[in-house]
Amino acid sequence: MNFFYVINGRKFKQLSIIILASFFTAGILYIENFTNLPVFSTKDGQPVAFYKGEGKVKEIALSFDISWGDEKALPILDTLKENNATGVTFFLSASWAERHPEVVKRITEDGHEIGSMGYAYENYRDMDDLKVKRDMLKAIEVFEKLGVKEVNLLRPPKGSFDKRILKIANSLGFTIVHWSVDSHDLINPGKDIIIDNVTKNLSNGDIILLHASDSAKQTEAALPDIIQQIKAKGYEISSVTDLINNTKANSKEIQ
C-alpha cells in the first residue's frame, strides 16, 4: 500500500520559511564561531596557518603585501617611520624583492620583519605540489641572497590556500599567515573608507591586511590616521611573529 502526504500550500510555505531561517541562523553562528578562531589547522590539530591572536594582549599586527610596482613601498616606509610605527610585517613576492634590494634593506633597517609570498606570485591552488614547493624554495634562496635570514612566515599569493598547501608549507618550516581585518585598499575606495575598514571593529590580536604595491594608491594617505587611531584605542603594534608567540591558539580544520 502506498501512502501520500498532502500539505496545505500555506502551511508548506510557512514550514519552508522556518527551515530556511534555521539554516540562515546556523550559518551565521558558524561564521561567528569561525572568525573567533585564530588558527586553521590540519586534522591532527597541529597549527600551521594563523590569522588572529587569541585576544589576551592588547596588540595588533599591521601587514603589507608587495608583489609589484616601484613607487609606493618607500613612501609607505617613510610614513611608518614618521609615525613611530615599527615591527610591521611586510610580505614580499621574492621576484619583486630581487628587483628592489634597496627596499628590502630599508625594511629590515627600519625594524620591520619580512615574510614570503613565494617567488612568482602565482596562485598555489592552481599548481601541482612540486611546482608549489619549488616556488617556495626559490623564494627562500632569493631572500638569503638579499641577506634576509630565517623567513618563516608565508602568505600564499592572493591569500589562497587549502589543506594541501598547508602541508607543503609546514614541511618547509613555514607558518601560513592570513588576516582578520581587510582594509580593501586595493580597490581604492577612498582614504576615509580605508581608515574605517581598518579601525571601526578592531579587537585584540587582529592582523590587518594592507598593500604597498603601486595599485594601492590611497594607502599612504590613510596610514597616519590608521596608526593614530590604533594607538588612541590603546593597541600596541606588534609583528606577526610576536603576535604568534603571544598566542595560545585554538584550531579549526581546513580542507
The residues spanned by each domain of the chain are 40-250
Q: Which three cell numbers stand for residue 12?
A: 508548506
Give the three cell numbers for residue 90.
611586510
pLDDT at 16: 45
Q: Say how many Å lie between the first and final Cα of the chain, rounded.
A: 45
Grid cell of 60 as nine digits: 595588533
pLDDT(249) > 70 = no
CA distance 90 to 74: 12
Residue 11's region, left for phi above 0, alpha for psi from -120 to 50, else beta, is: alpha
Copy the grid coordinates of residue 53. 591572536
Q: Quick one: fold of 40-250?
A: TIM Barrel (3.20.20)
Helix (H) or strand (E) holding 28: helix 9-35
Cα 138 from chain centre: 22
Please report the pLDDT score of residue 125 as a whole number.
94
pLDDT tens track for 136-145: 999 999 999 9
Give the dihedral of Cα atoms 247, 183, 101, 138; nearest 10 deg.
60
Tell me the pTM: 0.81
Residues 147-206: pLDDT tens digits?
998 899 999 998 999 999 999 999 999 999 999 999 999 999 999 999 999 999 999 999
- Check whether 246 has a pLDDT greater than 60: yes
Give residue-wise pLDDT tens across range 31-72.
Answer: 333 333 455 555 555 546 899 988 788 999 999 999 999 999
- What are the CA-CA distances from residue 249 to residues 25, 49, 168, 172, 187 (Å)? 26, 11, 21, 21, 32
- Return the amino acid letter for 105: K
